Structure 1
Amino acid sequence: MRKKTGRYGEQLSKKYLIDQGYFILDSNYRTKLGEVDLIVQRNDIVVFVEVKTRNTMTFGLPREAVHYKKQTTLIRLAEQYIQYKKIKNMGFRFDVIEVQWNNNKGQYEVNHIENAF
């Protein structure tokens, strides 16, 4: 169930980002270090996006799951991606997108946190 919820949150996040004028460069970019959910670009900025989806607040806000260790991993993955793709003359940042899903009402809310860390 968690994977299904997470995939749905990533789909909603992609749609949201495209609607905001971002271009999707990569989804679920994975190396031996870990995974970046979305890598997007708008103008001259490449954004590494961690998507956290929750359907309950039992474990706190979705953004709270992007702790120091996860941030460190994302930074290392971004460095690898930039070198591998030979990206130059671009800015970079790390965003978090929270998707809060209410199963009872069939509604969701997307909260895009730019420059999250």
Structure 2
Amino acid sequence: MIPKKILGKYGEKHACKFLLGNGYKIIENNYRCRYGEIDIIAFKDNIFYFIEVKTRQSKEFGEPEESIDLPKLKKICLAAQHYISCKNLLECDYRFDAISVIVCNNKPAFKHINNIIQ
């Protein structure tokens, strides 16, 4: 069993590789402000993506993305609003996505979930 913090960092690292392989540019990792944290901020096709990564070693307790609850979504939204304001991106398009990572035998499998916040 991999410790939760190490597993999370592993998932985020490989989620970045997954995004890069799909044409995204990684702008920031682990953006933190007083409102919360955003795991990955990426850019593709003139859209900024605020991405939450959830990593598990099995689906025994459900899909990883099922652990993204309403309080977490609110924190992501507030942190993104802070980032948008600080970086003067008010005129830019943006979207909130999630990447679900299942690690089995040291191999990550990904699911990209679009528009987790409408």
Any residues of structure 2 matched to 1:1-117 within 5 Å, and which?
1-102=3-104, 105-117=105-117
Per-residue deviation at 1:116? Answer: 2.0
**Identity across aligned pairs (percent)?**
36
CA contact (8 A) 2:46 2:93 kept: yes
Equivalent pairs, count: 115
Per-residue deviation at 1:56? Answer: 2.4
2:50 & 2:31 partners in 1: Cα distance? 10
Deviations 1:15-60 (A, max 9, x none): 0101111111110000122110000010210000000000022332
TM-score with structure 2 length normalisation?
A: 0.92
CA contact (8 A) 2:50 2:80 kept: yes
Alignment root-mean-square deviation, CA: 1.1
TM-score with structure 1 length normalisation?
A: 0.92
Which blocks of at least 5 consecutive residues in structure 1 are unaligned? none
